[in-house]
Amino acid sequence: MSNKFSRQHYEIVAKILSNYAYKGFGYMSEQTETRINTTEDIIEDFITVFKVDNANFDEIRFMKACGFGKK
């Protein structure tokens, strides 16, 4: 089975998401009174989709490309 997404797809998605990584987009959770980072939630959703598509998808590399994690 061939993958639906290519490296170029991963790269452009990461580039777009990296524009929002440190801008503080999110909301306050009323239950826990903590800030929820919606950008990170969206990145995790993309990771789930990309891992289903490609068993060799590198989650750590993608997170770094999106501006999260240690560089």
> What's the CA gap between 29 and 35, in Å, rounded?
6
Residue 1 banded pLDDT, cuts 50, 70, 90: low
pTM: 0.69
Query: Which H helix or E strand runs over 26?
Result: strand 26-28
Q: Per residue in 32-69, pLDDT tens?
A: 666 666 778 888 999 999 999 999 999 999 999 988 76
pLDDT at site 71: 44
Domain ranges within the chain, ordered by starting residue: 7-65
Confidence at residue 49, expressed as pLDDT on a 0 to 100 scale:
94
pLDDT single digits (tens) 30-40: 666 666 667 78
Please tell me the number of Cα atoms within 13 Å of 33 on its side-chain side. 0
